[in-house]
Structure 1
Amino acid sequence: MEADRIVINKLREHSRLTGDDITEIRNLNFAPRELPDQEDLIRQGDEPDKSVVVLSGWVARYHLLSGGGRQYLSFHMAGDWPDAQALFVDRMDHAVCAIGPALVAGIQHKELTRVIARRPGLGFAIWRETLIDAAIFREAITNNSARTKPARMAHLFCELFYRARALELAHDDRLELPVSLVQLGEALGMAIATVNRTLVELRASRAVDFRSGLLTVFDWGRLCAIGEFDPGYLHLKKQPL
């Protein structure tokens, strides 16, 4: 995949890029890296000297807990910059790992800093990417603390499907989502038994199904109603649904 094309398409979802901005992106030196399932891209406490963009597959942010468990914070697909904030902080307070096989491309911070100095508009677009990440975190806090379990799961499905449709990664109302039920529970604060019961309830609504790494949306309006989903916090210029 062409890393520059993926970056341009993603940033254009929420920001205006000039011809000079696009030229700068095309001149960036992308260093590809393949990640097997569950391999860490960044560990908690690292001081990275580069940021990465996801080219294919999925990665996830997580906190490593003292007992060895994980709290998954967010899931990221092709086009996302899961550690763009590393440009602005010295030490990572969370980890990023692959969810299934993934391909990423790294860009040295020194190079990004020079590009941002030359093209402030591009810098604002990258900064906006981190601000949208922050909005997703805020929504996740509300989701996990204030919504019912079916609404909690439905909202996460809505968010991932909506973002994937914007990037043309979901087709025919289906999205390949290689998240295990254990990982889904670790993201939503649910035990595995609760995850299974909640999935049964959502299937009964005939709005959505999730099994064997495939998310299928049967009734988008009903799924949004169950999950109380309003995509405004994603700040996308176009509505893909």
Structure 2
Amino acid sequence: MNSAYLMPINTILANGAEVTYAVPTSGYGHLADEQPLPYIRLAGRSLTPRFGGDEPSKECSIDSIPLPFGILDSNWSIKQMLFNLFRRRINIYWRNIFESFNKDNPNFYFLRQLKYRATSEGFEGESPLLLFKRLIRIKKDAVIVEDKIVFKSGVYFKLLKFAHIATFEKDGVDCEINYASHKQKIIKKCSSSTGSYFLSHYIIRNHMFKAGEVLVSKYVYSIS
């Protein structure tokens, strides 16, 4: 496990707002290490939730981390299993030493099943099945978050959760999605080190994604 995963990306704007996020640990940390969406703070006030800091509570599990999650129609491909073969879950806390990432099969947690790296505007993770990009563009009065899931091969998802948004208000933030039909919005209440918040996401059920297909979602956090 490379400790660079845990180094937050921090930006301070002219108005004093502070924006912080972190590249996902690819499953090598514990859940309290994750901050895949921007934590925005202005004048001593948190505008968005902060996920890390303490061991995660029972109320908020890996399903509450704002990264996509899916359930495949069948077991993973041989390519995905070979990709995981040498990725033993030895993390910086020396836990889960003998536990394989293949244990999740057929659940597909983007947090664990992709290898992540920082990019110039956010981060991206990749596996033999797909590429996930999160662009985080920081403006003077807003933070724009854009997710792209690029399918590298055909894959059938019984269920795919995506377009995660974390806000303190239930109505949250409007989200633009390039997938027009058969999606359902879900909102659930969670807890964090900055208090209770609402985590929303969309669900697509029983869909075959083709190689080269791209699923895009985009939303904006205002800073005021």
TM-score by length of 1: 0.28
Return the structure number with greater strand share: 2
- Which structure is larger by alpha-carbon Rg, 1 or 2? 1
More helix by share: 1
Normalising by structure 2, what TM-score?
A: 0.29
